[in-house]
Structure 1
Amino acid sequence: MLGFDVRTARQVWTALLIALLFFCIYMASSTLLVVVFAVFFSYLIYPMVDLVERIRPRRMPRVASIALVFVVVVAVIAVVGSIFGVQLQDEATHLLAQLPQLMKSDVPNRIPLPHFLEPLRERIVDFVRGQIETGSDKAVPMARSVGLGVMHAASNLIYLVLIPILSFLLIKEGPQMREDFLDLLNDRHRTLWAEIVTDLNVLLSKYVRALLFLSLATLICYGMAFSLLGVPYAFLLAVSAGLLEFVPFAGPLGAVAITLVVAVFSGYPHLLWLVIFIALYRLFQDYVLNPYLMSEGVEVSPFLVIVGLLAGDQLGGVAGIFLAVPVIAMLKIIIGRARVFYAASHDEGEAARRALTGKTD
């Protein structure tokens, strides 16, 4: 009557609520990030929990089996950290101590160039030397920035304690939380969201475990190959590459760049063999192992991956890059399921109208 459309008002109200939800998520990003890491840790632990639950005695409560798995996992992590942490710290300390001297070394003259670039070697050497001097001038501010970042992380060590605790609670109360969420919905939407929750559970479980296997494969292969090839700081570079494997697309590229830069600046004599190994391993991982592990669920086009990584970097830095691919895959599942559900509902409505019209005629 006054130009007020109830349907339009509902759509605007829904859009405002969604915008408010995204704003609240952005404001509470630090807390939500801890919850996200707890969810990922839960998916890593759950296969062991499921195995223990299958073989546990009937008198043993489920909480005890979950607690047993968490105690064993935390103990293994602590033992591994105590064994290899000292070596990792020693190599990192030695590299940082040698970094200023390496930056001022005669590195550019040792860089192999194609034959057609040899006449330009002097200019390239001057350019590289200028970049090295610029990098040396920025080394102290960069080190100061890294130190502040480490101090900030150390002040938030409570999160390292909260993540296992939250993971324990998620595994313990996850089934009941799922049922409580579905009980809030009517029968029509309960079916839709039950399918979405099931798909998301399969997606995240496969994605998290695939990342773990890819990271371990990179750590083991790089560690063995770097040791056999005599690459300096082999263990440090292998661990860095394994950790960076958790960051899609940008992480492996960063690991390759770090490895080659450290090898060149350290005067490593077999650079060609190192490049050949890295190229062969990346081909195997990117075209054989990665597609095999991520064959189900995580099917996102490269365009969306790159856009998601850029957006994630702007919104959440490294954490945003890490979460970009699974978030895109989750949105794809939700939108796909909703489209199929509402298309089927529309077809059923049209069929009912046609049947009603036929009876009226």
Structure 2
Amino acid sequence: MLGFDVCTARKVWTASLIALLFFVVYIASTTVLVVVFAVFFSYLIYPMVEFVERVRPRRMPRVASIALVFVVVVAVIAVVGSIFGVQLQDQATHLFAQLPTLLKPDVPSRFPLPHFLEPLRERIIDFVRSQIEIGSDKAVPVARSVGLGVVHAAGNLIHLVLIPILSFLLIKEGPQMRDACLELLTARHRTLWAEIVTDLNVLLSKYVRALLFLSLATLICYGVAFSLLGVPYAFLLAVSAGLLEFVPFAGPLAAVAITLVVAVFSGYPHLLWLVVFIGLYRLFQDYVLNPYLMSEGVEVSPFLVIVGLLAGDQLGGVAGIFLAVPVIATLKIIIGRARVFYATSHAQGDVAHVGWRNTEDPSGPPNLG
């Protein structure tokens, strides 16, 4: 007999709303990405805001202390950019100008190889030469694609201006926005989502600051080591590695590959020492520094990380890879809190039911009510 199940209809309605939410997020991905970066930037700035609020005079309004922090941060970024931006631009311009020379077919014959690989040099040279020829055929389409990407990014510079503005508003109105959203929920679910929001706050703050420290550590260590080892384009490679550190898993691998490719094609003679340094640094960061910084933040299994990175690459490219780990960790928090909440609710309901039953049936077990 056909019938209408209210409980099933409610679940279907909830699932439809969630699917609609994901669809809207996918359609408005650019706007969502700007908001996400604004949230991340807010977590970077907020510790300084807290410090200023602790030492500010009582007559000084909170908005003024937040504005002071943002002015100082923007000024520091401008000064650092003016000091190191020229050197970075010069090295990047020189590298791109030297690309035709570096990609000549006779370059592979100058590759430094270990002694045990010298008998195979000809085969290795033939393989590398063939790869260079294939890469040369694809160089023009890739360059055109990169150029279009640069033009598109230049057209969206307004987003870079919006990120600090949105961050300022988030820090200023964040507590009110949180309380307003929680007031829309029932008292039963308000406690659940308040705990979820608290956990997400800890997660994102630890994750964003850990990424910042990892990026700075990579920038400083790579910059100092590359300069001491005489690696060509040392500052450019160090800055690239520091920026790529924000992309989990894939970013550090890409930084290592770019460094080795530039060093090899530039005829760098101490390639073995460079490989040893990179290997030792990656071991230190992956097994010492990274676990220490992430110990109170993101705890996701490597399997889920790899699957999330692949899915993020398919859905959103570099942005999807960047957001994969925090999204997986967020889902883990929501599912874990919801499971505990509903398990506790069912247990309390069972206890209440048993207590009510025992008041009616004296022959039953002792009353738990």
TM-score, scaled relative to structure 2: 0.96
Q: Deviations over 1:244-267 (max 9, x none)?
A: 000000000000000000000000
* Aligned ranges 1:307-318 → 2 under 5 Å: 307-318=307-318
* Aligned ranges 1:93-112 → 2 under 5 Å: 93-112=93-112
Structure 1 CA distance for aligned equivalents of residues 58 and 140 of structure 2: 61
What is aligned with 1:201?
Answer: 201
Q: Percent identity?
A: 86
- Partner AA of 1:329 in structure 2: A
Structure 2 CA distance for aligned equivalents of residues 126 and 105 of structure 1: 10
* Aligned ranges 1:177-326 → 2 under 5 Å: 177-326=177-326
What is aligned with 1:332?
Answer: 332
- Partner AA of 1:131 in structure 2: Q
- Partner AA of 2:190 in structure 1: R
Matched, 1:123 2:126: no
RMSD (Å), alpha carbons: 1.1
- How far apart are residue 26 of structure 1 and its match? 0.5
Structure 1 CA distance for aligned equivalents of residues 115 and 222 of structure 2: 30
Asked if the contact 1:219/1:238 (under 8 Å) is kept, the reply is yes
What is aligned with 1:81?
Answer: 81
Structure 2 CA distance for aligned equivalents of residues 28 and 305 of structure 1: 25
Structure 1 CA distance for aligned equivalents of residues 111 and 222 of structure 2: 22
- Partner AA of 2:42 in structure 1: S
Structure 1 CA distance for aligned equivalents of residues 96 and 215 of structure 2: 25
- How far apart are residue 4 of structure 1 and its match? 2.1
Structure 2 unaligned runs (5+)?
362-369
Structure 2 CA distance for aligned equivalents of residues 346 and 317 of structure 1: 42
Structure 1 CA distance for aligned equivalents of residues 209 and 297 of structure 2: 13
Deviates more, 1:126-135 or 1:259-268: 126-135
- Partner AA of 1:120 in structure 2: L
- Partner AA of 1:60 in structure 2: M
Structure 2 CA distance for aligned equivalents of residues 297 and 68 of structure 1: 29
Structure 1 CA distance for aligned equivalents of residues 114 and 83 of structure 2: 43
Matched, 1:155 2:155: yes
Structure 1 unaligned runs (5+)?
none
Structure 2 CA distance for aligned equivalents of residues 326 and 111 of structure 1: 41
Deviates more, 1:329-338 or 1:109-118: 109-118
- Partner AA of 1:214 in structure 2: L
Q: Deviations over 1:231-255 (max 9, x none)?
A: 0000000000000000000000000
- How far apart are residue 3 of structure 1 and its match? 2.6
* CA distance 1:105–1:87, change in 2 (3 Å): farther
Structure 1 CA distance for aligned equivalents of residues 266 and 51 of structure 2: 47
Structure 2 CA distance for aligned equivalents of residues 211 and 174 of structure 1: 23
- How far apart are residue 117 of structure 1 and its match? 4.3
Structure 2 CA distance for aligned equivalents of residues 267 and 114 of structure 1: 15
- How far apart are residue 112 of structure 1 and its match? 4.1
Deviates more, 1:136-145 or 1:180-189: 136-145
Q: Deviations over 1:114-138 (max 9, x none)?
A: 5554443322211110111221222
SS state at 1:321 partner: helix
- Partner AA of 1:162 in structure 2: L
What is aligned with 2:143?
Answer: 143
- How far apart are residue 111 of structure 1 and its match? 3.1
Asked if the contact 1:100/1:136 (under 8 Å) is kept, the reply is no
- How far apart are residue 2 of structure 1 and its match? 3.0
Matched, 1:348 2:364: no
- How far apart are residue 108 of structure 1 and its match? 2.3
Structure 1 CA distance for aligned equivalents of residues 156 and 95 of structure 2: 26
Asked if the contact 1:102/1:266 (under 8 Å) is kept, the reply is yes
What is aligned with 1:167?
Answer: 167
Asked if the contact 2:105/2:129 (under 8 Å) is kept, the reply is no
TM-score, scaled relative to structure 1: 0.98
- Partner AA of 1:109 in structure 2: S
- Partner AA of 1:346 in structure 2: H
Structure 2 CA distance for aligned equivalents of residues 289 and 340 of structure 1: 32
Asked if the contact 1:211/1:245 (under 8 Å) is kept, the reply is yes
SS state at 1:58 partner: coil
- Partner AA of 1:141 in structure 2: P
What is aligned with 2:17?
Answer: 17
- Partner AA of 2:168 in structure 1: F
Deviates more, 1:81-90 or 1:108-117: 108-117
* Aligned ranges 1:5-84 → 2 under 5 Å: 5-84=5-84
Deviates more, 1:118-127 or 1:336-345: 118-127
